[in-house]
């Protein structure tokens, strides 16, 4: 449960931080958007580093599936675009991959 909460919080922090840069560069928002954006990206890195894991790369790889699902949630909730079936199928595949990475037995050849 702890890992799930950290992954979700990290995804929200990363998406918010990246969106601040998007807003500045693509939507002509003030450069002041970068201040909370940078803080959000720092929070993302800290949260992801708190995930209990023996290997950073495995943590980051599994996080990718959570990030994709969260990004589609952002698309719908904050950008007003509903994900289509291909978005949902792709996200489900990625999330399944994340579960395999996290829960797969280790030490087998």
Structural contact between residues 64 and 71, judged by C-beta atoms closer than 8 angstroms = no
**pLDDT score of 69:** 93
Residue 6 to residue 81: CA distance in whole angstroms: 26
Which of the two residues, 25 and 56, has the higher pLDDT score?
25
Give the pTM. 0.83
**pLDDT score of 109:** 57
Percent of the chain scoring above 90 in pLDDT = 76
Percent of the chain scoring above 70 in pLDDT = 97
**pLDDT score of 107:** 72
The arithmetic mean of pLDDT across residues 24-50, rounded, is 97
């Amino acid at each position: 449960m702890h890992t799930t909460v950290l992954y979700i919080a990290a995804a929200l922090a990363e998406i918010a931080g990246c969106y601040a840069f998007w807003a500045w560069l693509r939507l002509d928002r003030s450069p002041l958007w970068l201040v909370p954006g940078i803080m959000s990206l720092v929070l993302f890195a800290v949260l992801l580093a708190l995930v209990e894991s023996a290997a950073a790369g495995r943590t980051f790889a599994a996080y990718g599936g959570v990030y994709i699902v969260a990004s589609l949630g952002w698309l719908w909730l904050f950008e007003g675009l509903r994900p289509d079936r291909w978005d949902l199928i792709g996200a489900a595949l990625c999330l399944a991959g994340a579960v395999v990475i996290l829960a797969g037995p280790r030490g087998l050849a």
